[in-house]
Amino acid sequence: MTRPSRRQATAKPIPIMALAVVALSALALIISPRPPSLGDESTGDRALAAQVRQAAGGGPFRGLSVALIERGTVRTAGVGVTGGPGSHPVDAATPYEIGSITKTMTGMLLADSKLPPDTPIRTLLPKVAFDDRALADATLAEYASHRAGLPRVPLSPRMLVMSYLSNIIGLDPYAGVGPGVVLGDLAGSRASEQGKVSYSNIGMASLGLALADHAGLPYGRLLRERILGPLGMTATAALGQDQALPAGRAYGSKANGMAMDPWRGDGYNPAGVGVWSTAADLAKLVKGVMDGTAPGADAATPRFQGEGKERIGYAWYTTVFGDRTVTWHNGGTGGFRGFVGFDRQAGRGVVVLGNTDGDLDPVGLRLLNADPADRTDSPPWLMLVITLILTFSPGLEAWFGTPPHELTRAVRKVLWGAFSLLLAWVVGPWAILPPVLWALGAGLLLGCAAIRWSRAPYAPSGVRTWVGLAIPAVIIGACLIL
């Protein structure tokens, strides 16, 4: 009589494995990704709220606060909720992180400063020891229009690591980054393709800090005195690292539902980090720029050619969408998106703020009666494929692969499979993919492992084996705790 192979000895009837997979997949639904969606809650102008819902379609939004300016009249509405503890309906007074919308106000500070726009930035930053003379000689206008030749963010090890952790576990990538760090990164940067529009957070942050240093004021106070105060924008603030967040605020998340930390590094205030506002407040900004009464409103005048039909002033973009010419800027942080824009010829302006990272440009453009076709992103095909691989490869290996010959090896495979599923959970585009797929992947791994691998014999293991178990366990634990 022949001895059965290890595969035969550990094989189980397929119906039993299938039942186990289905049962465990049903349980996994409890912890599967929960992409946000707009609820039935509405505040403010009912007709506008209905317009907003139509413009948003089925996008991955939890709450949207909107202001619409038509021939000088402002209407506001909110749809959805704030999220977070004590979640409640959003309205025009709900504070959101506004991200790079702040850049428009930094550009307005330059336009209002009376400084010659061709002033080299080194004139305002005499203590900064630039490694690259080209960046020292770049003008205020070049910094304000993203033409100084700087990268989007500093290419430092710290920023690369923090950006990765932000995407994986929602940490603030700018935590602890003050003005000194920003100017130090500026000093060590190198110019590339100077004169060409290339979006730069460090460039706009450096400009704002230079203007603040020239005025002898912190950036937040300069912004309040020169722009916010004259416009009556009392609900807008550039917060320092340790200042309390606004009461009644919205809570940000990714479109897949993962909660994101607020961004707090005040060195990047001028670029949009740590700046909060409301739809009602930003309506005052848009209205003032559109009618030319806001301090530094000339910043919106298009001065330099960008890509295609796009031109740029001091931070403000002007783009042709079909038969509409729209002046605009968007903003985004880890868990928030925003859009402000206006069609001066039509006398129409809009503010849209949301508490997920779902794209709001198409929503804002639709409310301006502009065609958003050029601003609509195509599906992230590569990320869709990666997510499916991360979700199903561990379970498929458990079903079809050769079972481990020892129990600790089986446990190690389960732990690495769980890590793969965790990665899929946090990076996957679950607003596009049905979250039930994640639950099915989890059930496939656990069900097959329980049926096929559970009878693997335990054998005393050495240090190397236990280290192999500890590494994935520690990584998973750290991700869950953080």
pLDDT tens, residue order, the chain (482 aa): 444 444 444 444 677 777 878 888 888 889 899 899 999 999 999 999 999 999 999 899 999 999 999 999 999 999 999 999 999 999 999 999 999 999 999 999 999 999 999 999 999 999 999 999 999 999 999 999 999 999 999 877 778 788 777 877 788 999 999 999 999 999 999 999 899 999 999 999 999 999 999 999 999 999 999 999 999 999 999 999 889 999 999 999 999 888 999 999 999 999 999 999 999 999 999 999 999 999 999 999 999 998 888 999 999 999 999 899 999 999 999 999 999 999 999 999 999 999 999 999 999 999 999 988 766 667 789 999 999 999 999 989 888 887 777 777 777 788 888 889 988 998 899 989 999 999 999 999 888 887 776 676 666 666 666 556 566 566 666 555 55
Q: Which of 343, 279, 354, 283 is nearest to 74 (CA)?
A: 283
Residue 10: predicted pLDDT:
45
For CA atoms 399, 401, 407, 412, give the dihedral sign: negative
The answer to whether the CB of 235 falls within 8 A of the CB of 245 is: no
The H-or-E segment that residue 200 falls in is none
User: In the chain, what are the domains?
Assistant: 12-35+380-481 (no CATH), 63-375 (3.40.710.10)
Whole-number Å distance between alpha carbons of 422 and 168: 9
Give me the long-range contacts of 467-472 (CB less than 8 A, separation at least 24): 468/408, 468/412, 469/408, 469/411, 469/412, 469/415, 472/412, 472/415, 472/416, 472/418, 472/419
From residue 443, alpha-carbon distances to 35, 209, 469 in Å are 20, 52, 21
Cα separation, 325 vs 209, whole angstroms: 32
Q: What is the DSSP string of 14-54?
A: HHHHHHHHHHHHHHHGGGS-------S-EEE-HHHHHHHHH
- Structure confidence at residue 23 (pLDDT): 86
Q: Which has the closest alpha carbon to 191: 140, 139, 138?
A: 138
**Order of strands across the sheet with 237-238?**
96-97, 275-277, 237-238
Answer whether 182's CB lies under 8 Å from 272's CB: no
138 membership: H or E segment, kind and range: none
In the three-class reduction of DSSP (H, G, I as helix; E, B as strand; rest coil), residue 260 is classed as: coil
Which SS3 state, helix, strand or coil, does residue 59 take?
coil
Q: What distance in Å separates the CA atoms of residue 34 and residue 431, rounded to the nearest whole number?
A: 8
What's the pLDDT at 378? 73
Q: What is the largest CA-CA distance in the chain?
A: 97
Report which secondary-structure segment, H or E, holds 232.
Answer: none
Q: What pLDDT does 166 receive?
A: 81
Taking CA atoms, 333 is separated from 172, 174, 330, in Å, by: 9, 10, 11
- Residues 266, 222: contact at Cβ < 8 Å? no
